[in-house]
Amino acid sequence: MQTSNKKYDNISVALHWIIGIGILALAGLELFRGEFPKGHFIREGLKPIHQPVGTLLFALIIVRVTWRLLLAKVPTESHKFDLAGIAAKLVHLALYALMIGLPLLGLVYVFGNDKVIDFGLFSLALPLKASLGGFAKSARWWHETLGIAMFSLALLHAAAALGHHYILKDGLLNKMRFAKNSDANDTDFDPPLVAAE
């Protein structure tokens, strides 16, 4: 069961930063890889990274969603019904939907073509071409198209958080800092990372 707090718990914070940085890095890597023609050594050399890293990120996303629903300490939010508050909620919902939907589409493409995900020491294989093969091509297109949407939303989310913290100076990023033992159950916000001038 969730408990209320002024900050997220350390597990939520760790998962947030690992997944967020991982998504931005993986998307950026794919955009960089796409700048090179097929067959180029850089494009082909980076190709094996996407599927195993994406699968690991998906596993962490499942852990994060489960933790958030069952055990996480979630900051008590003031109920804002202004345009900014509604927009923030919609962006969060869209990000969660994409974090779950995108990897699933990728898995449909991979396993629908009877391909394997190579982790180096082991491989993950599910021969589902007979049942998913008809969806594999469209799944890849949706995966790539929605990937751009998620990358854009993630950047928007990051920019909005930085704007809140450093321009509005409301200390928003303090919610996503690791809590020390002494302030793990604080009911007040810490001062912003950068003091207001």
What's the rounded Cα separation, in Å, for the pair 119 and 111?
15
Amino acid identity of residue 62, one-letter, is I
CATH number given to 3-76+83-178 = 1.20.950
Contact 178, 10 (CB under 8 A): yes
Contact 186, 179 (CB under 8 A): yes
pLDDT value of position 133: 85
- Of 53, 6, 65, 1, which is closest to residue 27 (Cα–Cα)? 53
What's the rounded Cα separation, in Å, for the pair 108 and 98?
15
pLDDT value of position 98: 95
| Distance spanning both ends of the chain, measured CA to CA | 40
Q: Which DSSP symbol is given to 176?
A: G
Longest dimension (CA), the chain: 63
Lowest-pLDDT range of 16-20, 31-35, 63-67, 73-77: 73-77
Mean pLDDT of the chain: 85
pLDDT at 126 over 80: yes
pLDDT value of position 62: 96
Three-state DSSP at 76 gives: coil
Three-state DSSP at 40 gives: coil
pLDDT at 101 over 90: yes
What's the rounded Cα separation, in Å, for the pair 184 and 1?
17
**Structure confidence at residue 100 as a pLDDT band (50, 70, 90):** very high
pLDDT at 187 over 50: no
pLDDT at 71 over 90: no
Contact 186, 124 (CB under 8 A): no
pLDDT value of position 191: 37
What's the rounded Cα separation, in Å, for the pair 91 and 140?
23
pLDDT at 171 over 90: no
pTM: 0.81
Lowest-pLDDT range of 9-13, 14-18, 67-71, 186-190: 186-190
For residues 173-188, give the mean pLDDT: 66
